[in-house]
Amino acid sequence: MSDIGILNDPISLIAIALLLGSPGLALGGIPGALLWPTHRLAGAALGAVTGFVIWLAGWMILNDVI
């Protein structure tokens, strides 16, 4: 029995992406909140999403996934 395809369902792929991109959430959320002091929550959310995307894309490029 092979377990190669065990992590190919959408929930597992989303969990893996969240795990691999999670450092970008903090690294983007903190500067986002600090750079937009009048709207800290919106700045933190925008920074976290941006940091997540950049971190995950960087990880994928460095590990030859894309």
pLDDT of 61 above 60? yes
Q: What is the pLDDT of residues 5-60, one digit of tens each?
A: 677 788 888 888 888 889 998 999 999 999 998 999 999 999 999 999 999 899 88
Q: Is 63 helix (H, G, I), strand (E, B) or coil?
A: coil
Is 51 or 66 the better-scoring residue by pLDDT?
Answer: 51
Give me the pLDDT at residue 2, please.
62
Q: Is 65 helix (H, G, I), strand (E, B) or coil?
A: coil
Q: Give the span between the Cα atoms of 21 and 57, in whole angstroms.
A: 8
pLDDT of 1 above 70? no
